[in-house]
Amino acid sequence: MVDASTQCYYLDAARNQQGPVSAADLARLVRSGAITRDTLIWFAGMPDWRPAGQVNELASLFGPPAGPPPMRPPMAPGAPAAMRGPAMGIAQNTMGQRAMAAQAAAAGPTDGLIPDYPVWGLFWRVLVFGFCAAFIIPAPWCIAALYRYVIGRTSLPDGRRFVFAGSGNEIWYLFIGPILAMIVLSILSAFIPFIGILSLLAELFLVFVVPWLIIRWICEKVGTEDGAMKLAFQGSVWGFVGWYLLLFLSYITIIGWAWVIAAMQRWICRNVSGTHHFDFAGSGLEILWRTLVFVLCSYLIIPIPWMMRWYYSWFVSQIRVADARA
């Protein structure tokens, strides 16, 4: 039997990853039929997904295996070879192996981050953040709260959850400082010639440099519950500004922005250093069609909370992680 503290993941009938679930929940799912012997399952320590019936630790959750099939009568000498017992058994076994391989392939790599975002928990927090951002002053504390929630609901492939120790008190000046500078400089521009250039510089700082500083701050404040993870962002500010400019220009191509976003995400992930290495596996085409579906469904208003969870969860699940110390 699996230890009570073990967190397990499984693929449901639609091949969607579910979990983590506790050992007690696992037993309940087996009794209800949601998890069968053929359900692919994974928990920390396993190299890959395996059918639940082949995991020794789960054997006690299932009843005794079915007895051997009844003996088939010998085939007539003239019967087709495809109908003979051994050939049929080999074919059925091969088909079963192919089906399990296809199910595992559909599940994708098992080294991606695991998001666990409740629909309404994510939705109302994003709304609150948007409301706070409109008033500027509370934005630093709202963004810290949003990241604390989203990062805290994300797990490593081995089941360990992230923790986020950032606070709005650490970044308030990044938001409020440039805004106040722009207001003051706009007032002074009525009396001092050419001072509007300084106001433009403050605006550029807010648009291009502040997001880069936010990424550095996030990486420094992200860890795991056991304190083993230490990260830092090594990407240069000029590299980040270059990607931002390329993203703005890509909108001229109508759809090229999706590929730029995919490449930019890879650049950001690969510039995170420390105890773990990161990469982004999503493609521009995947980003494009998911964004179009998200936007079109949002016009219907009602699906927005579910589409938001679906969209954000996909992005997070495309972030691959590896232990740099391995």
pLDDT at 79: 42
Does residue 141 share a domain with residue 60? no
pLDDT tens by residue, 126-139: 999 999 888 888 99
User: How many domains, the chain?
Assistant: 2
Does a structural domain hold residue 89?
A: no
Chain centre distance of CA 215: 17
Does residue 154 share a domain with residue 30? no
pTM above 0.75, yes or no: no
Average pLDDT, the chain: 82
Tell me which of 10, 40, 66 is where a domain ends.
Answer: 66
Residue 274: strand pairing partners: 231
Does residue 134 share a domain with residue 244? yes
DSSP-derived secondary structure letter, 172:
H
pLDDT tens by residue, 140-189: 999 999 999 999 999 998 888 999 999 999 999 998 888 888 888 888 87
Which residue, chain included where needed, has tokens 């088909």?
95
Using CA atoms, how far apart are residues 184 and 285, in angstroms rounded to an integer? 44
Does a structural domain hold residue 93?
A: no
Please report, for residues 40, 120, 218, 247, 303, the alpha-carbon distance to residue 145 in angstroms, rounded to integers and kept in the order given: 35, 16, 12, 28, 24
Does a structural domain hold residue 81?
A: no
Does residue 258 share a domain with residue 171? yes
Does a structural domain hold residue 82?
A: no
Rg, Å, the chain Cα set:
26
Does residue 39 share a domain with residue 188? no
Tell me which of 10, 44, 66 is where a domain ends.
Answer: 66
Position 3 confidence tier, pLDDT thresholds 50, 70, 90: low
Does residue 171 share a domain with residue 33? no
Does a structural domain hold residue 125?
A: yes
Does residue 183 share a domain with residue 58? no
- The arithmetic mean of pLDDT across residues 314-326, rounded, is 90
Which residue type does 129 have? F
Residue 164: strand pairing partners: 222
pLDDT tens by residue, 187-235: 887 788 778 788 888 888 888 999 999 999 999 999 998 888 999 999 9
Range of the domain at 8: 1-66
Does residue 309 share a domain with residue 192? yes
Does residue 315 share a domain with residue 184? yes
Does residue 151 share a domain with residue 56? no
Q: What is the DSSP string of 41-64?
A: EEETT-SS-EEGGG-GGGGGGS-P
ω before 115 within 30° of 0 (cis)?
no
